[in-house]
Amino acid sequence: MIVVRTTGHLFDHQIRYPKWEADNATLQRWLKDLNLGGVILLGGSAAELKLRSQQLQSWATTPLFIAADIEEGVGQRFPGATWFPPPMALSAIARDNLTLACNLARQMGTITAQEAVATGINWLLAPVVDVNNNPDNPVINIRAFGDTPEIVSKLTTAFIQGARQHPILTTAKHFPGHGDTATDSHLDLPIIPHSDARLASVEIPPFQSAIASSVDSVMTAHLLISAWDKNYPATLSPSILTQKLREELGFSGLIVTDALIMGGITKYASPEEVAVMTVEAGADILLMPDDPAIAIESILQAVESGRISEARIHQSSERIKQAKAKITTNHPESNSLNFLSQLSQPQATQTVTEILEHSTQWGGNLPLRKPENQAPRNLVITDNLLNSSFLDLYTPAIAIPEKLGYQTQILDHHSLDCILLDSSKTLLQIFIRGNPFRGTAGLTTKAKNIYQQLLEQKQVIGLIIYGSPYILDWFKPLLPSELPWVFTYGQMRTSQHHALQKLFNLSEDINNTKPQNFGF
Catalytically active residues are: 186, 258
d(CA 177, CA 285): 19
Sheet containing 65-68, strands listed edge to edge, beginning at the edge strand earlier in sequence: 123-124, 65-68, 38-42, 2-7, 286-287
**Neighbour order of strands in the sheet with 171-175:** 171-175, 217-220, 254-256
Give the C-alpha distances (Å, rounded to integers) separating 158 from 98, 151, 152, 164, 225.
11, 11, 10, 10, 28
The SS3 call for residue 432 is: strand
**Chain Cα centroid distance, residue 258:** 13
Rounded to whole angstroms, how far apart are CA atoms 129 and 406?
41
Who's near 506: CB < 8 A, 6+ residues apart?
Answer: 400, 500
* 410 three-class SS: strand
Mapping DSSP onto H, E and C, the string for 223-275 reads: CEECCCCCCCCHHHCHHHHHHHHHHHCCCCCEEECCCCCCHHHHCCCCHHHHH
Beta bridge partner(s), residue 128: 173
Cα separation of 78 and 20, whole Å? 18
Burial 17-43 (b: 16+ CB within 10 A, else e): eeebbbebeebbebbeebebbbbbbbb
Distance, in Å, from the CA atom of 180 to the CA atom of 172, rounded to the nearest integer, reads: 17
Q: Burial letters for 123-133: b for 16+ Cβ neighbours within 10 Å, e otherwise? A: bbbbbbbbbbb
> How far apart (Å, rounded) are the C-alpha atoms in residues 140 and 317?
31
Task: Name the 3-class secondary structure at 47.
Answer: helix
CB atoms within 10 A of CB 425: 16
- What is d(CA 507, CA 500) in angstroms, rounded to the nearest whole number? 10
Residue 361: closest CA among 93, 70, 180, 83 = 93
Strand-pairing partners, residue 378, are 408, 427
- Distance CA(94)–CA(98), nearest Å, equals 4
Answer yes or no: are the C-beta atoms of 169 and 328 closer than 8 Å.
no
Helix axis angle, 292-304 to 271-281, nearest 10°: 60
Q: Is 246 buried (19+), middle (13-18) or exposed (0-12) by CB count in 10 A?
A: middle
Given the DSSP bridges, would you call strands 485-488 and 361-363 parallel, antiparallel or unpaired? Answer: antiparallel
